Amino acid sequence: MTTAGPTPHGLHLEPFQGTRYRLDRVDSLAAVTSPPYDVVVRPDGLLHLESADPHNIVRLILPQGDTREGADRRAADTLAAWLASGILTQDDKPALYVYEQRKGELLQRGVIGSLLLSPPAEGVVLPHEDVMPHIVEERAALLRATAANLEPLLLSYRSEPGSSGTGDVIDRTVQLPPLLTTTTEDGFCHRLWSVTDPMEIAAVQVDLGGHQALIADGHHRWATSLRIRAEHPSPSPWDYGLVLLVDTARHPLQVRAIHRLLHHLSPASALSALAGSFRVRRVEGSLAAAMEALSTASAEGTAFVVAGDGFHLIDRPDPDLLDRTVPGDRPELWRTLDATVLHSTLIDHLWQIPDSSQHIAYIHDTEAAVEQAERNGGTAVLMHPVQEEVVRDLARQGVMMPRKSTSFGPKPATGLVFRTLLP
């Protein structure tokens, strides 16, 4: 669908003056970038990034300090110092930024811009996961301190077959020399271009003005931006947030699971509590073998791998137990999600684990989840990814999935370009 311009019911994307590392002031652009804050595995990954370069962006997105307030103030002071010293600089002209990620045959391209914030009720930007209030408050405090959108959210939309606009602008732009090129240690090559031509910007705005988007990654950051916007009279720079928009008709996203690490539950206790409620089978061999068994079992219904002392596949939950423990006021599609069963039936009912960061960690990397469980005597619950169609269907119904149900990617690297909200 295309309109004559952005409408109240479509995406309103604006150019911004991007803040970027000066290439002549850092030894390696790859060494100052980071994954998104919630993908960094702490403490190992945090220490690795801090050690990679004294100017790594992780010092801004995950600042360390004796108190939360002290850490946020350190991030603000660090950002100000890097701007003052010329480590970071702001581009001369407002721009939209074409961003490309490539690894082998995987290619993803999208547009980074400043998007007008809108509540879920407007149906312009669709969330699909609940958020954790304490994380929103933490990110809000950091945003207030730094006055900067340090990381773009990943949003997806779908163009109509044969439509033009944003895709054509991207195709023309990538024929030009990029502003920057770098390859990060995960093997992804990143390229970035600025689009400053008013006609090209207008073409993108007209096209996106007829679309809605799904939050693929960044629910807590979106909720944070909405909270901060409510604290400032409009119009103001706080009315907008930094996003990467990807057309999944051209570049389908990958969907991965986010695993749970239960700090204070031993594998033996976890498995003992499942007796009579789930089928439990030990999987001999490697983590790869366990994940293959999980993939096969997930095709037939709810299934998980419990790890920490070897690998155990659990599936075939007792239907009566599910009826008693899973809320009945949601669509059947939601009631049968693995994440729904995990939290409602296992974590809340069978294991009775408090829903707090002291007890539950959410880890994207499968090997890291297992390693931390084995090292600390906890239990990792490994999950199978949800299909994107399921996510989008529920989002359009206004039904929230359990938080941290999905991990869409590839995620944009943090540190290539970001947005400062104040002069």
Say what the pLDDT of residue 8 is: 52
**CB-based burial, 395-407: b 16+ in 10 Å, e otherwise:** beeeebbbbbbbb
Same domain, 245 and 297: no
pLDDT at 39: 86
Q: Residue 6's pLDDT band (boundaries 50, 70, 90)?
A: very low
Instruction: State residue 19's pLDDT score.
Output: 98
Q: Is the pLDDT of residue 347 over 60?
A: yes
The tens digit of pLDDT for each residue in 293-307 reads 999 999 999 999 999
**pLDDT value of position 388:** 82
Question: Which amino acid is residue 74, in one-letter code?
Answer: R
Position 1 scores a pLDDT of 33
The confidence score (pLDDT) of residue 357 equals 86
**Domain-embedded: residue 107:** yes
What does the radius of gyration of the chain's CA atoms come to, in whole angstroms?
A: 22
Number of domains forming the structure of the chain: 2
Which pLDDT score is estimated for 7?
44
In sequence order, the β-bridge partners of residue 68 are none
The span from the first CA to the last CA of the chain, in angstroms, equals 37
271 with 318, same domain: the answer is yes
In 3D space, the residue among 168, 171, 188, 191 whose CA is nearest the CA of residue 179 turns out to be 191
Q: Is residue 321 included in any domain, yes or no?
A: yes
Domain presence at residue 51: yes
Q: Tell whether 3 is covered by a domain.
A: no
Residue 355 pLDDT level (bands cut at 50, 70, 90): confident
pLDDT, average across residues 383-387: 92
Is the same domain home to 144 and 228? yes
Distance CA 58, CA 47 (A): 10
Asked if residue 157 and residue 64 are part of one domain, the reply reads yes
Mean of pLDDT values over 100-108 = 97
% of residues, the chain, pLDDT over 70: 98
Asked whether residue 158 is assigned to any structural domain, the reply reads: yes
The conformational region for residue 138 under phi > 0 = left, psi -120 to 50 = alpha, else beta, is alpha
147 and 227 together in one domain: yes
What CATH code is carried by the domain that includes residue 334? 3.30.1760
Quote the strand ranges of 334-375, DSSP E: 360-363
Structure confidence at residue 4 (pLDDT) = 37
Q: For residue 170, give its domain range.
A: 11-252+407-418
Residues 281, 218 within the same domain:
no
Do 381 and 413 lie in one domain? The reply is: no
The DSSP output letter for 348 is I
Is 53 inside any structural domain?
yes
Cα distance between residue 177 and residue 296, in whole Å: 45
- Mapping DSSP onto H, E and C, the string for 101-160 reads EEECCEEEEEEEEEEECCCHHHCCEECCECCCHHHHHHHHHHHHHHCEECCCEEEEECCC
Return the closest-CA partner of residue 257 out of 406, 150, 365. 406
CB 53 within 8 A of CB 27: yes
* 220 and 265 share one domain: no
Give residue-wise pLDDT tens across range 266-292: 999 999 999 999 999 999 999 999 999
Tokens 């804050």 appear where?
A: 37
Least confident among 43-47, 50-54, 293-297: 43-47
pLDDT at 176: 98
Same domain membership, residue 343 and residue 411: no
Average pLDDT over residues 343-370: 94
The answer as to whether 110 is a domain residue is yes
**pLDDT score recorded for residue 44:** 80
Is the residue at 146 inside a domain?
A: yes
- At 182-234, the pLDDT tens digits run 999 999 999 999 999 999 999 999 999 999 999 999 999 999 999 999 999 99
Domain identity same for 320 and 245: no
Mean of the per-residue pLDDT values for the chain?
A: 93
> 198 and 340 share a domain?
no
Residue 45 has pLDDT above 90, yes or no: no
Whether pLDDT at 258 is above 50: yes
Partnered with residue 182 across adjacent β-strands are: 190
pLDDT at residue 161 in the model = 82
Top pLDDT among 132 and 96 is at 96
Q: Please state the rounded mean pLDDT for residues 66-78.
A: 96
Output the pLDDT for position 295: 96
User: Both 268 and 340 in a single domain?
Assistant: yes
Residue 24 scores a pLDDT above 90: yes
